[in-house]
Structure 1
């Protein structure tokens, strides 16, 4: 069956665009930790656990070598949100040319949605995207952070990006199937 899928591309062009979400309550035990060792297996787990019900398929065929090549680049970072020791979601930062950083993937496992973790993780990851050059020699200062989401993603995805200060710069609708 054919369906129309709308994709929104959003951006921030200044670190002052970021409108932080409130953090989850301390008793929730939410911590955000960088996955410092490039691990194709762990990243594939996060990708499939978050994306299964959102129809993420573009990386399912990636080999271990392709995952490692993507993860083990200067400035590339994966940040994982944990709730009391259990992975709840992740955000990937993908530095590109001329001070541009893409949030290549972001999302929560289904059991952790609707609990204030997503806004907190997006705030954290976007803040890190703005200071990538401060931590990695050879990267230009961040001038733009961008992301895309589509109508197949969670029902609150687009609103979460907008609440964090991202602005839509492009909209495309394509028929799939």
Structure 2
């Protein structure tokens, strides 16, 4: 369904976001990133659901990430046990501080399914480092398209960061979903920059 020009009411207890879809069809030139020797890229072969939900909530709560929080353990396990789905973190000491998920389940493509940093890494250059890893990992496989989407609930820097990384916007949508602060998936104090309208 295509929305007509003008204003459209959002149901009570819901959020509306403009979603931008981006893609890169060729590997872009590498962009320099800082030498953060205290961070290691870790591939997780097994994923404990409680550990994952904690990580997902910690990184995404300020941007109202909620899609994985209400999934059953078996459904989460099914995603991460798929051979063509990879989960990585950036680790400092014993702490995992960034999340990278690459979905190769569609032949010839890779979706940057989730990409985010713990607040402790924002502004350090770790995002550039993680994106360089993501591009390298995506294009080591025989793909012709690497794609991602972001929305107006994400960090205001996200869209520009993806464009600078080599992605090109190609489509927009409007998404309406229940506010996760009212469903109990996230605390009502999450994302104070986004109005909570009951």
The one-character-per-residue Cα deviations of 1:114-150 (angstroms, maximum 9, x if unpaired) are 1110111011012101113xxxxxxxx2111100011
Q: Which residue of 2 aligns with 1:131?
A: 140
Q: Distance in 2 between matches of 1:120 and 1:21?
A: 9
Other structure's SS at 2:103 match: strand
Corresponding residue pairs, total: 166
Greater helix fraction, Structure 1 or Structure 2: 1
**Alignment TM-score, normalising by the size of structure 1:** 0.84
Q: Which residue of 2 aligns with 1:145?
A: 146
Change (3 A) 1:126 1:108: same
Return 5+ residue gaps in structure 1 as ranges: 133-140
Other structure's SS at 2:42 match: strand
The one-character-per-residue Cα deviations of 1:35-75 (angstroms, maximum 9, x if unpaired) are 12233233222211111111011111101100100111112
Preserved CA contact (<8 Å) 2:85 2:105: no
Return 5+ residue gaps in structure 2 as ranges: 1-11, 179-198
Q: Distance in 2 between matches of 1:116 and 1:68?
A: 31
Cα RMSD (Å) of the superposition?
A: 2.0
**Alignment TM-score, normalising by the size of structure 2:** 0.76
Q: Which residue of 1 aligns with 2:75?
A: 66
Q: CA deviation at 1:99?
A: 0.7
Q: Distance in 2 between matches of 1:84 and 1:57?
A: 27
Q: Distance in 2 between matches of 1:39 and 1:130?
A: 28
Q: Which residue of 2 aligns with 1:172?
A: 173
Q: Which residue of 1 aligns with 2:35?
A: 25
Q: Which residue of 2 aligns with 1:13?
A: 25
Which protein shows a greater Rg? 2
